[in-house]
Structure formats: C-alpha cells, structure tokens
Chain A
Amino acid sequence: MAETLLELSGITKTYPGVTALDNVSIRLARGEVLGLIGENGAGKSTLMKILGGVTEPSEGIIRIDGQDHASLTVAAATRAGIAFVHQELNLFENLDVAANVFIGREKRLGGPLKLVDNAALRAAVAPLLARLGADFTPETLVENLSIAQRQMVEIAKALSIDARVIIMDEPTSSLTLTETERLLQVIADLRAHGISVIYITHRLGEIMTCADRVVVLRDGHTVGELARDELSHGTMIRLMIGRDLKSLYLPPNQPARPGGCDIRDVVTTAFPDRKINLSVRHGEILGLAGLVGAGRTSLARTVFGIDRLLGGEIRLDNEPVRVDTPRDAIRQGIYLIPEDRKKSGLVLEFPIRENISLASLLTQARLWLVNRAAEGRIARQQAASLSIKAPNVDTQVVTLSGGNQQKVVLAKWLSMQPRVMIFDEPTRGIDVGAKSEIYALMRNLADEGVAIVMISSDMEEVIGVSDRVAVMHEGHVSGVLERDQFSEYNVLRLAIGQALEPSGAAA
C-alpha cells in the first residue's frame, strides 16, 4: 500500500449534549481518492472541519507525515497542504480569477507602495488553469464564471499552495452531467499526480467511478470501510442506514379526508425543466424527503407565492388557486413555516404579541386602528395553548430559545384558519422536548383537518412522523411511500434517484 499521508485516529468531538463524532479513525494514502459518505448529520462536515483546523477535536490524534497533532489551526492545515473546495464556494465575484487564487498571498511589486503585481499573479495562474484544462483565462471576472468553472478556480487555488490533500464537499450538487464528468476527470488527473482527494457526496454513482476506497459514517461512528472492489450501491446504502429508529409515530385519530392540496405539473424557478406532481389530503401529514438541494424548499416557496410559478397549477379542494404573493396564499389558508425562522419567520425585535398578530392584524383592528386589547388576548391565548415559555407576551422574541421562537411562528398561523400548512425543517436547532411538542401539535392540526406537508432532512423525523412520504430528487418527485414501505433504505434510494426495487439498480 502507498505511503500514508494523513491519519486521524480515535477522533471524538462532543458539543454540549451531543456527540458529533465518536472514536472515528480514517487513513489517507498518497494519491488516493477516498470517498466519505453518510446521511445528513452523520458527522462528515465536523470531521472535515477538524481536518481543516476550523474546530478542535475533543479527543484523538491527527497524524500528518508521521507527526502527531492534538489539533490543527487553519494555518497549520494549509501549511500541511490540506485544501478545501467548499460546497458554497468562497470566491470574490468582483475580482478576477488570478486575484482569487492568490487572495491574501498577493505577489508584490517592489518600491514603497508595495503594489500588487497583477502580471505576476496572472502568469502564475495560467499554467495551473492549463493543467486543469480550464476554458477561461486568469483575467476573467469570477462573476462571469459558471459554478463548474468556479470550482476549477478553487482547485487551482489548492494547487497554487501545493496542496497534497484536496477535500471536496458535495462538489457536484449544482453541476450538470457533463460538468460532473469533467470534474471526475480532473480528480483522476490529480490522483495521477500524487494528490489525494477526500470526496464527500451523496451521489453514490460518482463514488463508484472515482473512489479507491470508501469510508461510511453514521451517527458519528465509522460503520464501514469498503475497498474499490467491494463497492456497490446496495452495500453503501445498507451501511449508511441501519440504526433503530425510535418510534415517534402518533397515529391519526381521524382518517384522511377527501380534498386537500394538489400540485399538478408545477414548474419552479429552481428546476425550470422539471414538473412536480404531489397531493396532500386534509388530515394527513405528508413527509417530504430528499437531499439538500433537491428542490423541496423551492417547491414550498412556490406554493406559498414567494417564488414565481413557471408552469402547472395548484389546486385546493379541487379548485385551482392563484398564488402570486404570500398574501394570496395566506388568503387561501396556505401557510408556510419557513426553514430559517430568524430570517423569514420572525421580526426578532418585536415582542411576542406583535409577531403573533403579524399576519392577522387587520382582523384585530377597526378602521385600520389596532385593537390592542384583542391583540393581547389572542396572543396570550396562543402563548398559553402552545406553552410558550416567556414572562409575558411583551417579551422580545430575540430573547427566546429556538423552540419557543418556533412556537411563536406557529402561533402566528394558528391564530388564523389553516387549510394547508407547510413546515420546512420544523425542528432544526430545537431541543428534544420542544420537538415532541411540535410533532404532537402537527398531529392535532391534521386531526382537525389541516393538510400538512413536512419538509425534513432528519430521517428519524420523516419516517417517524409522516403518514406518507414523498421523496424528491433533482427537482421532481421520485417516489411516494406508504407507511408499510417506510424504511431508510427506501427513502435513501429514492433520494439518490434510484428506483425502489433494488433489482433494477445494478449499476
């Protein structure tokens, strides 16, 4: 086996109340492409942050070139030749390619002013771009580059610091098929030059093409290591899942009723060439699963009137409805609990009372003057029924915990008449106690006849809470599962675009 470049052994990382990584060990050889896979929250990102020197491990050893370190700093990681190609690219769009590659390390002209030597920067970057087969020049402004081209800039940046390890985190999530193939070629080329790559992805097909070895993480543990000849979709998926799910399921007290919301051939701005079909009945909780970027949030935003509907129609109780703005959606009883509650759900500096009344203020007013008594009464009622923990309803929302903030967002809608409610990652960043309260609340709403869509990346939640699960993959619904078909395996297969029957997936 080739010489070992880098070794992490016994890495543990704990945050208050959570163990993100538990005794994880990985080894990387020179010129090796290591695939790193696992579900959302398996610990991949934490592990890579430790390697990049962004966070310190609680325990464990990082061994580089035979030297042991308890932790790395960003500078030390860079010196050791570890470079990142980020999921969200960290480039300056207003600068050209050469300036981006050498950002913070600009070559200088002599003289007292120490001006930047742009010519030298460009001369240094040109051969790197040639080596990557890039189709743009060092003088190109980054804002004029496609995402795939920007990735090449990041890789060029890595090469310019003589990187020996390049970590790529979901590099292909926004690439087209040809761009992906191009990237995989570049990876093969890097490998041939003795540069190692850690490749994090959900796309198992790419792993099959490029990885020499695969490490699988689950819930912060290393659960398996597969050599190249052991790789198959089935084995990888089986390793990624396979924990016991705690039962969260609260069965409905009322059967699902006819009517509800039908999404027919809907085209969103995120995937203009895909049509989405989906239905949710009154009284049911429909889980909407899929990988990050599969188009779930964009569907929610379109149904709620934030993003433009490019095609198809939305029907409510068999009547087509127009939702050009959130105002239209709210008038129809379609409410959204947004993914980022601080940014889109709440006015943080407002008191609880004014946040609860934000969407329904006109009904608590006469001649456009706010009836503060009515407003306070409704707010106190909601705060009590949702058990929002705060001294009183005049408390600023910014001082509340995540769970209580989420309850305030819910209270805003529950003080009105919901018909369809879309919850986008309703329990992200919320403690366990508040989570189960929110699940119970969703079930109550469903029993009262509300049609509920729950977008979630938390597998336990999707499988535990939903009555049915629809899975999205690259902008369309790749399958709908009934409760007897629920399993992490099935959800994951659909999420990565494989057919439900494993027999059809021999790739």
Chain B
Amino acid sequence: MMKKDLGLFVLLIVVSAITGAINPAFLSGVNLLNMANLIGLFGVFALGEGMVIITGGIDLSIGSMLALLGVVFIDLLTQYEIYWPLALLMVIAGGLLLGALQAFLVTKLKMQPFIVTLCGLLIYRGAARYYTTDSTRGFGYGDEADTISNIASGHIMGVPNTFIFLIVLAAIMAVVLHRSVYGRWLYAVGKNEEAARFSGIPTGVVIAVAYIISGALAGISTVMFVFYTNSVSPSSFGNFYELYAIAAAVLGGCSLRGGEGSIVGIVLGTALLQVLQNLVNILGIPNSLNFAVMGTVILLGVLVDQQLQARRRLAAATAGAARASAAAAAVRSGQSA
C-alpha cells in the first residue's frame, strides 16, 4: 500500500469514527452492510474509470452506457426470454463494444477523450430513451431470472455479494495494474507517451485496452444495478454515475494528467464517497447539501494531497542535488589526489 492510499484509509476511518460517535446508528450492522452493498455497486465501474484516467484520458459515457445496456438487458430477459447467462454475456459484450468504439476514435482517429465520451454520454442516453419511448422497463411478476437476481442481490454470511465481487475484481485488477507488463505500460503511457512509444510500447493498444475494460466493467455494473433497482428508467438510470467514478478515482490518487493512481486508492475513494453520502443522511444534514459536502471533501482532499506532493518532490530534488554535488566533490578530491 502506498503512502497516499494509507492517508486515504486513515481519512476514511477518522470520518467514520466521528460520524459513529455523533450517531451510533452509522456503525450499526444494517447500515454498514447497506454501505458495503453501495460500495460494491459503485466501485466496479470506478475501477474502469480509473484505468482510463491513468492513460491521461477520461470516460464520461459510463452513466449513459448503464442506461442503454440496462434497458437492453431487461428486454433480453423479459421480451426475448433469453437464458440469463447468455443475456449477461451479451450485455458485457455490449459494454466492451461501446468501449472499443470509443477507443478506436481516441487512439486511431486521434480525437480528444473528453469529446468522444461526452458524445457517448449524449448518444447512449438518447438511444436508451428512444428505444423505450422513454418508458421505464422493469420485471413483471415471475419475469425475474431468479438465479441471477439472487446472485446479484444476495449475500454470503451477511456480506453483500456486490461487495465481495468488488473485492475479488479489485484484487485481479491490482495484479493487472501493479504486477503485470500491461500495468507497467499503462503507467508509462500515462506519464510519458512519447518515451513509451520510443521504447517500443504499443501505446495505441495500451490506451485502447483501458477504454475497453472500462466499457466491459460498465456492462457488469449494469447487471448489478438492474437487480438493485429492479427497473430501469431510461432518463434517470445511471445519471451522473461517471462523475461519481471520476470523483472516486481522483480521491483515490489518480491525476487527470495521467500516470498516477492505484486500485486500492480507487476502492477507498469509492468507499469514502459512499460514507459521505450516508453521513449526510444519518447526521440529519439537509439532503440538498449532499453534493456540496461531497464536492468540498474532494476539493480539500486533492488540495492537501497536492501540497504534500510538492513538499515531497522538493525534498527529493534537494536530495538529488546534494548527491550530485557530493559526487562532484568526490571526483574533485579524486583528481587532486
């Protein structure tokens, strides 16, 4: 765990402890499990967003992707009565495809990620609303695919499956990002794309894969959310979720300039966001202040982190300079000897 992640972890504990001290209901089992469920739901696509942000890009289309894939998923199960594992695979493939399309525009046609995914946000939402003529899709009586519904909204020994899934996924992603060749390439491309290219790294492929993973994770999230809400209203389902994802990633130490961030950080960032939302409810702060609280904490978090980093860089630079002059002195004394 890096210093940054540790700091975030401490912040999460402190905020939770204070909230718990003011209102012990915060620490009740029911509340904690409810939060764990939400962390699981929101964490999955935040991990995808984090990957894209590490390339120096951004994915604004996640929320709309959820809406489009969501209505399609319910129709696949109810209208077309497709066997659920197949429907699940089709939705994940759908997310993957949309991600691949965006990746193509960004890496091959050199369009700016912000623009590509902003247009994605608009187009997917519009498509979802047109496809359903703006009507809510849901499960009728007996329509629900029992098995998958039970998996997605179930729990093992009280722990929500969504949370367990997030932890398993995060563990896999942590290996990919922090231990695999691809992960190293991803950071290299994010930090200095030109040097990466000059070292023979297929930079286009590396970036494209990040968008594709983000799309696929949005597909998985869609299924999880569909069984959480049990219905999809195409105009509001997933609204602003991409911003939650960006906020979680940034809180978790990702820089929008790219090349920075960790999986643990993104998960902790997601958790902190959910704690903040929950805290607003549980402390009786007017619900209308929800976003304002979130915004303030992110702003302060990033500010403090930046100041600490600047100080650390300065320390590193002085150490480097001291080393250089020491080496120079050694050379000089060697010459005079």
Q: Total A-B pairs in contact (CB under 8 Å)?
A: 87
Contacts of B201 in A (CB 8 A): 327, 358-359
13 chain-A/chain-B pairs, Cβ below 8 angstroms: A304-B198, A325-B200, A325-B202, A326-B197, A331-B200, A347-B191, A349-B259, A358-B195, A358-B196, A389-B327, A399-B323, A401-B324, A433-B331
CB-based contact A361/B181 at 8 Å: yes
Q: What 3 pairs across the A-B complex have the smallest Cβ distances?
A: A399-B320, A330-B200, A359-B199
CB-based contact A391/B323 at 8 Å: yes
Given the known inter-chain contacts A347-B192, A358-B201, please indicate yes or no for A370 contacting B179, CB distance below 8 A.
yes
Contacts of A361 in B (CB 8 A): 181, 184-185
User: Does chain A have a CB within 8 A of B111?
Assistant: no
CB-based contact B316/A362 at 8 Å: no
Within B170-188, which residues are at the interface with A (CB < 8 Å)? Answer: 175, 179-182, 184-185, 187-188
Interface flags for A387-410 (1: CB within 8 Å of B; 0: not) read: 001110000101111000000000
User: Does chain B have a CB within 8 A of A306?
Assistant: yes
Report Cα–Cα, A370/B182, bound state, in Å: 9
Interface stretch of the complex, out of A281-289, A310-318, A337-345, A467-475:
A337-345
CB-based contact A399/B202 at 8 Å: no
Contacts of B323 in A (CB 8 A): 389-391, 399
User: Does chain B have a CB within 8 A of A15?
Assistant: no
User: Does chain A have a CB within 8 A of B317?
Assistant: yes
Taking a contact as CB atoms closer than 8 A, the residue among B198, B317, B327 that contacts A338 in the complex is B198
Contacts of B134 in A (CB 8 A): none
Residues of B within 8 A of A (CB): 175, 179-182, 184-185, 187-188, 191-192, 194-202, 259, 316-317, 319-320, 323-324, 327, 331
CB-based contact B175/A369 at 8 Å: yes
Chain A CB count within 10 A is highest, among B197, B198, B317, B331, for B198
The smallest C-beta distance from B200 to any residue of chain A, in angstroms, reads: 4
CB-based contact A362/B195 at 8 Å: no
CB-based contact B196/A347 at 8 Å: yes
Given the known inter-chain contacts A396-B316, A399-B323, please indicate yes or no for A362 contacting B181, CB distance below 8 A.
yes
Residue of A nearest to B182 (CB): A368
CB-based contact A343/B202 at 8 Å: no
Report Cα–Cα, A396/B181, bound state, in Å: 19
CB-based contact A350/B188 at 8 Å: yes
Contacts of A336 in B (CB 8 A): 198
Taking a contact as CB atoms closer than 8 A, the residue among A331, A343, A365 that contacts B195 in the complex is A343
Report Cα–Cα, A398/B198, bound state, in Å: 18
Residues of A within 8 A of B (CB): 304, 306, 325-327, 329-331, 336, 338, 343-350, 354, 357-359, 361-362, 365, 368-370, 389-391, 396, 398-401, 412, 433
Report Cα–Cα, A325/B199, bound state, in Å: 10
CB-based contact A326/B200 at 8 Å: yes
Report Cα–Cα, A330/B331, bound state, in Å: 36
Residue of A nearest to B198 (CB): A344
Contacts of B197 in A (CB 8 A): 306, 325-326
Contacts of A306 in B (CB 8 A): 197-198
Report Cα–Cα, A499/B309, bound state, in Å: 58
Report Cα–Cα, A382/B180, bound state, in Å: 22
Contacts of A338 in B (CB 8 A): 198
Contacts of B179 in A (CB 8 A): 369-370
CB-based contact B324/A354 at 8 Å: no
Given the known inter-chain contacts A365-B181, A399-B316, A400-B320, please indicate yes or no for A347 contacting B188, CB distance below 8 A.
yes
Contacts of B185 in A (CB 8 A): 361
The smallest C-beta distance from B300 to any residue of chain A, in angstroms, reads: 25
The smallest C-beta distance from B110 to any residue of chain A, in angstroms, reads: 15
Given the known inter-chain contacts A330-B200, A391-B323, A399-B316, please indicate yes or no for A349 contacting B181, CB distance below 8 A.
no
Contacts of B192 in A (CB 8 A): 343, 346-348
Contacts of A412 in B (CB 8 A): 199
Contacts of A370 in B (CB 8 A): 179-181, 184
Report Cα–Cα, A391/B327, bound state, in Å: 11
The smallest C-beta distance from A406 to any residue of chain B, in angstroms, reads: 14
7 additional contacts (CB under 8 A) given A344-B194, A346-B192: A306-B198, A327-B201, A330-B200, A357-B184, A365-B180, A368-B181, A370-B179
Report Cα–Cα, A440/B237, bound state, in Å: 66
Report Cα–Cα, A281/B264, bound state, in Å: 52
Report Cα–Cα, A357/B180, bound state, in Å: 13
Contacts of A325 in B (CB 8 A): 197, 200, 202
